[in-house]
Structures are given as C-alpha cells and as structure tokens.
Chain A
Amino acid sequence: MSDVNPIVAPSAPSGELWRIVASMTATCAIGAAILGGIYIGTERYAEEARVRGERRAVSELLGLDEGARVLEVRQFLTPARDAVVYQRPAEVGAPGRELVFSLDGTMLHDGALAGTAAEADAVREFHSLGRLFIAMREGAPAGFVAEGESRGYKNRIRFFVAMSADWKIAGVRVVEHEEDPGLGAEIATSWFQGQYVGRELAAVPRLDVTRDPMPEDWRGALRARPGAAAGDWASRFGTVASREAEKPIYAVTGATISSRALTDGVRATILHFRRRWELIGPRLLVPDTREAAK
C-alpha cells in the first residue's frame, strides 16, 4: 500500500496524452449530445415535410387534381434476397394486400395485409426497393410513379419517374440528392428533367447521355415549358421536341457523372417497373374490379 504505483505516477508525455484523449472525447460527446437532442426535436417535422413534398411531387408529375386516388405500393427484398414482397397498405374502405414473388417471377403468396404494428415490424429487416404510386381513375390506372435510386457524384440520388397510362415518360423528379450546386445539382432543375418527358417506352432501353452541347432551340423550349400550357407549348416547340425525342440526354456541363447517374437510374427504374407491373398489376387491381361489379 505504501509503494507508489508506477502506473498511476504521472509521467509528462503520458499525462499529456491522456489530457488530449480526454479533450477530444469530451468534445465529441458534447457534439453528439447536442446533435442527438436536435435530431430528436426535429425528426418528426422533417419526416412530415418530406412526406408532404413527395405527395405533392407525385400529384404534380401525374397532373392529378387534389382528390385523386393514389394507390401506394411498397416493395421489399427479403433479407435472404430470394423473394420480393409487395405491400399495399390498408386504407379507408379497402383492405391492404400483400404479394410475394420469387426472383424468377413465380407467385409465392397473395393475402390480406391488416396494417398491424407486428407487420410493420416484420418488414423492418427487409431491404426497401422503393415505392410505386398508381393513380386510379374510374377503376383503371391513369398513370404510375416509381421511386428509384442511383449513385451520384457525392451521395445517392433519389428520384421519381412518372409514366403515363400509355407508357410514355410523363416526368422525372429528383427528390433527394447532394450534388454540387451550380454543377451536378442542375440535374434537379426542370429544364434538365424536362429532357426525359414524352419519350416512348420502346426508346427507354437506348436512353443514353451525350456530352455534346444542347442545341439552343431545345434549351429555349425546355426553359419555356414550366408554367406554359401543354397545348401552347406543343404548338410552339412540337417540331423541336419530336426532333429530340430519340436523341440522348444532354449532360449538364461539368457534371457528366451526375447526368449519367440520373439517366441510368431512370432507365433501370422504368424497365424494372415495366416487368414488375406485369406480375403485380392484374392482382393488385382485382379488388377494384370486383367492387365495380357489385
């Protein structure tokens, strides 16, 4: 007991080291506590704002009026990555529904989804494949929006692709990205996203990006589109638009990677959605036709 413990006896360098470690640890702990507190206080509002923004994006993309009915379908990959689960949440007057397909397209399950907390817990382990939004008019689909993701220059780019009922691209909307302002962030502008609009499904597999400069008349047409009535715009710029309908997407100057990331994502999302819709579409819409027959 009377011996001086050599480990505790402070030598100058190790004491210095401990103070450095303590200082850094304290700084990180305080920073983490502040950010944690702010996160808890703001998360709910941020989530609400995000959901509102997405709902608005979907109805704008599909040109829906306020009260239009939109079916939301969530897609998941099981943890074992051997099956895809489609869930349509229950809503007022319509029960939820769950479909499970193997990767080669064989149906494994088709049943009700009650919307219980236990079911919500079950999918927490699942890998989300994005959501589908199906606009319904008089019991038939009037348009689709598929959520997609792509790896951008800095972080993931999350976007919505809208298809009309006759399978043309109705619009593309980037809803989340962290590309650089002035460069990659230009992919989220209406003029860049306008390049996708009106392309036929048959042309989508060949959808590509070019670094050629965008022709000035096409740039003018794209800039004039937001806010212009569709008929007016078509009569003024119809010839330019049809000339460009089969051309590649013109990359943002200085941001070819971001432009390509979005274009590749849009192409993959549309082609996947087309294939999936053939499997799930007829089954998801069955209850509606039954109701209509009653």
Chain B
Amino acid sequence: MSQPILLRERPPGARQLLMNGIFGENPVFRLALSLCPAVAVTTTVANGIMLGVAVLLVQVLSSVTVALTRRAIHPRVRIPVYTIIIAVWVSAIDMVLAGFFPSLYAQVGLYVKLIVAFAIIISRLEVFASRMPLIPTFWDGLGMGLGFLFALIVIGVFRELLGSGAILGYAVVPEKPLLFFALPAGGFFSIGLLMAFFNVLERRRNGGKASAGGGGGHGHG
C-alpha cells in the first residue's frame, strides 16, 4: 500500500483533492493499485468506462460511510469493518440494479460484483476517510474514483485503438495495428508505458524533481 501523504493539520480543499486523485495520486498510474482489474477490463473503452463508473460510485459511498461512522469503528477491527461496508454497498447496488434496471444490470452487473476486493477503495478508506471529516472525504473519494475512471479510459483508448483499430467499437483504422495490446500481456505493457508517460509529466510539473509514488506500490485485487 502506498504511503499516506495527506496527514496535515487542515484538510486540503476540494480542487486540490480532485486533482490529487486524478493526477498526483492517480490510483493506477501513480499508486499502482487495482492493476489486475485494470488490465482485465480495458480491452475496450466501453468496458473501462463501465468499471470506472461503478468504482467511482462505490468509492464515494464507502468513503462517506466511513467518514460518518469512523468514531464508532473499533480501530483494531477497522479493516474487516471497511470490507463489510464496501460489501454492503456493492450488494445493495447489485440488488437495486437487478430489480429496477434489468437492462443496465445486464451490462454492468459483472463489474459491480468485482469491486468488493478492490485495493484502491479499501486503501482510501484507511488512508483518508478514517482520519478526515465528511466533506474532504467526499472530495477525496470523488477524486480517486474519477482518477480510476480516467486511467481506465486512457488505457482503454490506447489498447482498443492499437489492438482492435477502433474506439468505442467504431472502426477507426481498417486493420488491427497491433493485436498484442488487446491481449492480457499487452495490457501490462500498456499500463507500464502509460505509467512512464505520466511519471514524466509529473516530473516536469515538479520542475525535474522525482516524486514519491508511481509504481512503488503493490496492486492486488
């Protein structure tokens, strides 16, 4: 798990938290969390968007729940309690979609079920939501969710364009330029290349100074 960076006296503002989730501490490119689902799902942009939106929703709801109940959660069992909170939200969303939005459920049901074991969600609960008040936690959850969605879209565009020669299923080039990128191994290469690219961007932004994070973490789930 990546090092907690936001332990200041006063919680940062909304804009700063959103930018931190999307760029500074992007879950995939900077924290290297939840890489397995990121690789499995991003063969197409559409898949990436579905999973990204589902994660965004569960991240915000779980973060807010933890921020509201953090004083009642016994610190020794906080991780199991976080897991239960995530599982309750995931199951609740799953059942509501199945009951009232069957056609949407047919498309996103699988993605929702995947989320219970996402490292990024539980790590934000531990690093941020358990120590911060409600409002900053909401922005952090939203930023992290948007960051994950953004990463999946970028990887999805990269892989679908190179692997299938299409974007969102519409053919852009007649042939498949590099089928390799649509395969699972190509997914890891894609993330590696994009991670390097985002590290370069981050270094430029910081004036040539290498920053913490970015591939140092260990992503599971």
Contacts and interface: CB of A to CB of B under 8 A. Distances in A.
A45 to B, nearest CB: 4
Contacts of B87: 31
Interface stretch (A16-24, A92-100, A117-125, A131-139): A16-24
B114 A254 contact: no
B98 A182 contact: no
Contacts of A39: 95
A183 interface: yes
B104 to A, nearest CB: 11
Interface stretch (A3-11, A61-69, A156-164, A173-181): A173-181
Nearest to A28: B84
Interface string B54-74: 000000000000000000111
The interface centre, meaning the residue of B40, B41, B100 with most chain A CB atoms within 10 A of its CB, is B40
Interface of B: 40-44, 47, 50-51, 72-74, 76-77, 80-81, 84-85, 87-88, 91-92, 95-96, 98-100, 102, 105-106, 110-111, 113-114, 183-184
Contacts of B85: 27, 31
Interface string A111-129: 0000000000000000000
Q: Which 5 A-B pairs have the closest CB atoms?
A: A42-B99, A49-B102, A45-B99, A23-B74, A46-B98
Contacts of B76: 16, 20
Given A35-B91, A42-B96, A254-B184, A178 B110 contact: yes
Given A20-B76, A34-B92, A182 B42 contact: yes
B93 to A, nearest CB: 10
A23 B99 contact: no
A183 B100 CA distance: 27
27 contacts: A16-B76, A19-B74, A23-B72, A23-B73, A23-B74, A24-B81, A27-B80, A34-B92, A35-B91, A35-B95, A39-B95, A42-B96, A42-B100, A43-B95, A46-B95, A46-B99, A49-B99, A50-B102, A52-B102, A53-B102, A178-B113, A180-B41, A181-B41, A181-B110, A182-B47, A183-B40, A253-B184
Given A49-B99, A52-B102, A181 B114 contact: yes
B95 A182 contact: no
Contacts of A182: 40-44, 47
Contacts of B50: 181
Contacts of A43: 95, 99
